[in-house]
Amino acid sequence: MKYFVVILGMILTSSLSACQDPIQKPPDNNDLDILWKATISPSLLEGKFPKVVYKNTVVSHGWKNGKFALLAFDKNTGKELWTWNDTFTRNDGSAHNAQTEFIHVFDNVLIWRNVNRVYGINLDNGTTAWKERFEGSGFLADYLSGLGNRFLFNTRHPLYFAGTVKQGNIQRLSLPLQFAERTQHDASFLFLNTPPNVLENAALNDTIAVLPFGIPITGQVAIGFTVFNLTQNKEIYTKTIPGDNIGAFGPPPLLHNGTLYFDAGPWIHAFDLKTGNKLWSERFPSQFSFSGIIYYDGMIIGNCEDTFMYALDAKTGKQLWATKTSGTSSRLFEMNGVIYFTGGGDGLLHAVDAKTGRHIWKKESPDESRFNGAWFFDSVTGADGKIYVSSYISLFCYKAAR
C-alpha cells in the first residue's frame, strides 16, 4: 500500500510541475551569466535614459560628482572610458525633468532633448558637439524623432522644431496643418519615402513625418495623426479616431511594409499608410504606454498594464499568445528572437521567447540584497550576444539568453 501512495505522490508532483507556468518559477540569479558590472551612481539613481551601444562602448546615464552624467564603458570589459556632464544647469537630468524615452544617434553624435535644452554629444570621446537652449512653454516631454542628420520635436502646443545632428541649428517650423486646435502633440516618427513604405503623392526619398495629436471634439475624446511631407512642406492627409483612446497616442507609431501601428489608450490600431484607412483595432483591459509596441516576425507585441504581454497577428490583429508578466515595464528590446524588458511591478529583468511567449528566465538585481530598492529598471539594450541593463546603482552586462 505504501508503495502505491509513494507512486501516486510522484505522479501528482510530476503533473503539478508540468502544469506550472514558467513565470511562477523563482528568479534565475545565476551570477555566471554576469559578464561584468560597473557603478553608475553612489546612491539610488533617478530619472531614466535609453542605453546606447556604439562601436566598442555602451553608454548609460548615471550620477557622478553630484550631477547627472552620461557614462561610457567598454562593452566587453566594463572599464569606464569617458564621462559627459556638460549640462546647462545642475538639475538637468533630475527625476523631475529627465524621464527621457527617446534619443537619436547619427554617425558619432547622440542627440538628447531635456525639456527646452538640446545637446549634441560626441560618442567617440564624450565631448559636447553643440548645445542649444531656447525660451518657450509647453516643453513637458523629452520626445525626439530623428532620421539621418535631421531631428524633430514638438511642444504640447502645435509647434514643431527641427535641427541637424551635426550642427544643431534648431529652427521653429511653420507647418500648414489641418486642425490648428490640437490639444496635445505626441512622439512623431520620421521615415524616408522608399519601398516598401511608399506614398504615391510624394517623391521618392522625401522625408515623411507621422505627427500624432489630440483634438477636442464635443462630448468625446479623439485622437488624430497627420502624414506630412517635410521635404515639400505639405500635408498628405490627416485622420481622426473618436473613442476612448485616453486623449492621445502613446509612443511613436511603428511602420512596417506599408502599415502604421499605434497604441492608443487601451487600443492597438493598424492603418494603411497610403490611405490612412483603418485595417484593424483591438481593445485590451489597459494601456501599453510604458512598454510601447514592437514588430517581430509578423507579430505586434506589447506589454499591457493588465500584467500580460500580448502578441497579435500584424495583418489581422488576431491574438496569437498572451503571457503573465509584471504590468508596467520598460520599453521592449528584441534580439535573436528574445524580448527583454525590466518590470516596473517586480523589478526583474525578463527574457521572453518572442515566438511562443514563454519565459526563458527572469533575473533579480544582485544589488537588491545590498541596497533596498536597487532593483532592475529603465531600458535594456544589447549586441553581440550581450545584454546591458541597469539597477538603480549599477550597469550590468549579461550573457544573452540566446
DSSP assignment of 186-254, as one string?
A: ---EEEESBTTB--TTS-TT-EEEEEEEEEEETTEEEEEEEEEETTTTEEEEEEEEESSSTTS--SPPE
pLDDT of residue 81: 98
pLDDT, average across residues 361-388: 92
Residues in the chain: 402
pLDDT of residue 369: 76
What are the tens digits of pLDDT across the range 203-219?
999 999 999 887 766 55
pLDDT of residue 220: 57
| Phi, psi angles (nearest 5°) of residue 133 | -130, 140
| Phi, psi angles (nearest 5°) of residue 45 | -80, 145
C-alpha grid cell, residue 230: 517635410
* Whether 123 contacts 54, CB under 8 Å: yes
C-alpha grid cell, residue 30: 545565476
E-assigned strand segments in 32-149: 34-39, 52-54, 57-64, 67-74, 80-84, 104-106, 109-114, 117-122, 128-133, 145-147
- Taking every pair of C-alpha atoms in the chain, what is the biggest distance, in angstroms? 87
pLDDT of residue 298: 97
Nearest to 61 by CA among 395, 302, 314: 395
Which of these ranges, 44-53, 247-256, 388-397, has the smallest mean pLDDT?
A: 247-256
For the cut 90, the answer to whether the pLDDT of residue 14 exceeds it is no
Give the percent of the chain with pLDDT over 90.
64
Beta strand pairing status for 184-185 and 168-173? unpaired
Sketch the domain layout of the chain as residue ranges. Answer: 289-402
pLDDT of residue 214: 77
Q: What is the value of pTM for the model shown?
A: 0.89
Which of these ranges, 56-65, 153-162, 372-381, has the smallest mean pLDDT?
A: 153-162
Give the mean pLDDT of the chain: 86
CATH 3.50.50.60 matches 289-402: no
pLDDT of residue 365: 95
pLDDT of residue 264: 85
pLDDT of residue 1: 41
